[in-house]
Chains A and B, each alone.
Chain A
Amino acid sequence: MQLSVWTYEGPPHVGAMRVATAMEGMHYVLHAPQGDTYADLLFTMIERRGKRPPVTYTTFQARDLGKDTAQLFQDAARDALERFKPQAMMVGASCTAELIQDDPAGLAEAMRLPCPVIPLELPSYQRKENWGAAESFYQIVRKLADTAITPRGEKRALVNILGPAALGFRHRDDVIEVRKILDTLGIEVNMVAPLGASPADIARIGAADFNIVLYPEIGDEAARWLEKTFHQPAIRTVPIGVGATREFITGVAALAGVDPEPALGDSSSRMPWWSRSVDSTYLTGKRVFIFGDATHAVAAARIAQEELGFVVCGLGCYNREFARDVRAAAKKYGVEPLITDDHMEVEDAIAAASPELVLGTQMERHIAKRFGMPCAVISSPVHVQDFPARHSPQMGFEGANVIFDSWVHPLVMGLEEHLLVMFRDDFEFSDEAGPSHHAAHSPKTAAPKVEIEEPASEGELWTEEASRELKKIPFFVRGKARRNTEAFAAEQGRAEIDIATLYDAKAHYAR
């Protein structure tokens, strides 16, 4: 047993739901106890879908056990077929149904349903959500792909985009960006799958010349089978970040036999200039801790180091299946890879690394909040706010723009906050001062407050000359300079503070 409060991934049948819900004309009959329908609200609430997921649950109860759960399953399958008239049906069991051993595959086969049936074996006590999605998609492709269709091999290349699914972090907008690149290169899209694909579409999957695996966690299993069966090569470069996007374009163009330049020259790529502009200089060497699914974590590490000038001080993922990629990347950045699905371990690692920025999932957002660290979300699992209404891809050049803004934003906020704390003593910055543009109308504190402390504290220790010099120092660092100088004078046993003492102290504290 494993003690757990929070899980990065749901059970594998939720992965299967993500594939079914992504598709059109597919229906999933899930042998599951009453209550498992909770998963519907991930799709209707978090992703804000306006349709129920195409899933029929048998919702068996205690009184059904030991007599008619098998019958219940067959009734549910028959009703679903009649009501929803799907082109194909996925059947499987959730964790509890796995224990009662009704064998949905066998039961569905015995029914001789008038549509293709994809039986799913998802071991709930060993595997998790991403694996469930990958396995389901693979089984669908294996079952439905028409092997009589071969790659069309025409001049204009035809590709499949594999991996986008329901409840995927920014999958909707990533697909738009990748399609834009392909359009620019003059490459035709055979289908995006599972997102938006129907079983009839899947039948024609073999017609493509090659595959683009956008999310290896979900699409790679199927891509490997397609490689074997249709000899379709696969592009596995995930175009997150400017460098990766360029590599992706070059790779795709090479396979399609076209000139990559039109896509490489995309002028919407603002991120490189934003990152070079002097305002970004303070980003240099910021220590960043990265955690998420392997694909997003590895991509994020590269952007952080190569494109924003951060230093990666921690890198990890929760999905063991892709740990190898993370280990390789961690080696490159000289950090210890963290492969775990225990959020307590992640918390400890973050505390130990004490980064200046955390990039992670919803969980890391909360860990960072607790530690008072800036944070941005780069990977599932995510909450409702990370399924935004606006266009917000992670992939392609627009994705890089989005990433620059969303990662730098919490840091700027962090800097602002730091300044506010540092200058808490100065009246313009005090908590009571209110927003600056309102200050003229609503001063909440009496202004003279500042006047009080300065002359008072200087006292007889300061020579008049040194006092005047001190006042030339900008007000927001003056307090610090005064304190430092007085401390220095005390330490040195100087009876008075003259200009020399002031600058001796400055030299002493300079780093």
Chain B
Amino acid sequence: MSITQTLPANGSDCAPVLNKGVLRERGQREVFCGLTGIVWLHRKMQDAFFLVVGSRTCAHLLQSAAGVMIFAEPRFATAIIEERDLAGMADCHDELDRIVDKLLTRRPEIKTLFLVGSCPSEVIKMDLAKAAQRLGTEYAGQTRILNYSGSGIETTFTEGEDACLATLVPEMPVARPDAAQELLIVGALPDIVEDQFLRLFAELGIEPVHCLPARRACDLPSVGPNTRYLLAQPFLTETALALEDRGAQRLDALFPFGAEGTTAWLRAAADAFGVDEMHFNRVVAPGRERAKRAIAHSRERLEGKRITFLPDSQLEVPLARFLATEAGMIPVEVGTPYLHRQHTARELELLPESTRISEGQDVDKQLDRVREDKPDLTVCGLGLANPLESEGFTTKWAIELVFSPIHGFEQAGDLAELFARPLRRRDVLRV
């Protein structure tokens, strides 16, 4: 990575000037680590296996996060570091080789194996990159072996996906320099949502369109200076950097939440690919109208309600924008674990002046603010949701927003409903 290529990203941290400050906090953070990303990534990439090198805690976390999925012969596991592995480093790598061998013998259909770093493996400085290289040579032609870190000390929740996709970028084939402009959708989306987008782009006449990640990790799309990419998710900082390293250009857009967000997202691609305005409107209008009608069902319940987001996934800013501009909600505080000012610049512009944006967390202080603000709805993790409910706050648990299909026109109504349901339930219960 050359210096000139990293510069724009460094600058991005202070890019557009906000007319309000961002509250930055440090303290106890009630968030997941990046390992959690495995839970949905392994569903998306059906020929990939995720092997966490970590402690019993890591295995326990995955089990708690994956819930019932753990029993369906999942394509992830933990190599649990034990006392004797800590004794000497060489031993540790032998052990890992043994486990990888056992694993790939048992699951020969695995085409990509991710060695996923954790806090313990990072702290003892176990060189998983080197291990991936060594094993990659050994299994060349059979299984590609990659490495990224999902540790809590480096990544927060969805940043695990970012780290994973960023390691795939250098593996993408080189696009011919004279190739026509191609569109790349970046970010793991549920298959149904991905298909809807692909249909819309086809109708718009934009092709070919590729996705990162692809459904099979071995079908990596090519990338080059003619690649234009759209981020489908707001948490893909490193992946975006890696793509730009390879010459791809980001299309600046709102994230595709709600009727307006999705329209703006599609429009960014349409503009870049020179799609006629009339044609664009014709293609997009039906979905956009359907989305608006679907959102209207929840609007009555949401309008004028005050909402606070605690930091979790980085989806907070675009979702707050959607709820503010399309459902009439009033964002009180929008907390995010990390704020990428450039990627979210358009979103931030659309948030009401009064919204308090906070980055990072000091959970007890933030809960004090929730108690003081008394929002109608608080979006937070499962560790906080029931305790807040028992204090009389209505909550929406945040993880569901990462697991459910919420992007695009056809899901806009479901997305609004996710926020309306706890409010409706609060009103309906007489116990």
Q: A62-B154, A65-B153, A125-B82 are in contact. Are A41 and B71 (CB under 8 A)?
A: no
- Cα-based distance from A126 to B55 in the complex (angstroms): 10
- A256 on the interface (CB 8 Å rule)? no
Cβ of A5 and Cβ of B153 under 8 Å apart?
no
State the main secondary structure of chain A at its contact with B: mixed
Cβ of B386 and Cβ of A48 under 8 Å apart?
yes
State the main secondary structure of chain B at its contact with A: helix
Q: A99-B120, A125-B86 are in contact. Are A52 and B383 (CB under 8 A)?
A: yes
B191, chain A: closest CB distance, angstroms:
24
The residue in chain A whose Cβ has the minimal distance to the Cβ of B390 is A50
Cβ of B79 and Cβ of A3 under 8 Å apart?
yes
- A86 on the interface (CB 8 Å rule)? no
The residue in chain A whose Cβ has the minimal distance to the Cβ of B53 is A1
- Cα-based distance from A257 to B96 in the complex (angstroms): 60
- Cα-based distance from A357 to B224 in the complex (angstroms): 60
Q: Which of A1-58 contact B (CB under 8 A)?
A: 1-7, 9-11, 13-14, 33-42, 44-45, 48-52, 56-58
Q: A51-B387, A99-B123 are in contact. Are A5 and B151 (CB under 8 A)?
A: no
Q: A33-B153, A96-B55 are in contact. Are A57 and B28 (CB under 8 A)?
A: yes
Cβ of B382 and Cβ of A45 under 8 Å apart?
yes
- Cα-based distance from A36 to B364 in the complex (angstroms): 16
- Cα-based distance from A440 to B385 in the complex (angstroms): 48
Residues of A with C-beta under 8 A to B86: 99, 125
Instruction: Point out the residue from B78, B156, B364 that lies within 8 Å of A79, measured CB to CB.
Output: B364
- Cα-based distance from A61 to B361 in the complex (angstroms): 12
Residues of B with C-beta under 8 A to A14: 57, 60
Cβ of B28 and Cβ of A58 under 8 Å apart?
yes
Report the contact-size class of chain A (Cβ under 8 Å from the partner): 35 or more
Residues of B with C-beta under 8 A to A11: 55-57, 60
- Cα-based distance from A11 to B81 in the complex (angstroms): 12
- B178 on the interface (CB 8 Å rule)? no
Cβ of A4 and Cβ of B77 under 8 Å apart?
yes
B89, chain A: closest CB distance, angstroms:
13
Stretch at the interface among B29-37, B168-176, B179-187, B274-282: B29-37
- Cα-based distance from A5 to B29 in the complex (angstroms): 27
- A485 on the interface (CB 8 Å rule)? no
Cβ of B55 and Cβ of A59 under 8 Å apart?
no
- Cα-based distance from A428 to B367 in the complex (angstroms): 60
Which B residues fall within an 8 A CB radius of A? 27-36, 53, 55-57, 59-61, 63-65, 70-71, 74, 76-83, 85-86, 92, 95-96, 98-99, 102-103, 119-120, 122-124, 151-154, 156, 364, 381-387, 389-390
Since A41-B383, A99-B123 are in contact, a sample of 12 more A-B pairs with Cβ atoms closer than 8 Å, ordered by chain A residue number, is A2-B82, A3-B103, A5-B70, A11-B55, A33-B119, A38-B36, A44-B383, A59-B29, A62-B153, A96-B153, A125-B83, A363-B71
Pairs A–B under 8 Å by Cβ, sample size 27: A1-B80, A1-B92, A2-B79, A2-B80, A2-B82, A5-B77, A6-B71, A7-B56, A11-B56, A33-B151, A34-B33, A35-B151, A35-B152, A37-B29, A40-B382, A41-B64, A50-B389, A51-B390, A52-B387, A59-B152, A61-B153, A76-B28, A95-B119, A96-B153, A99-B86, A123-B83, A125-B81
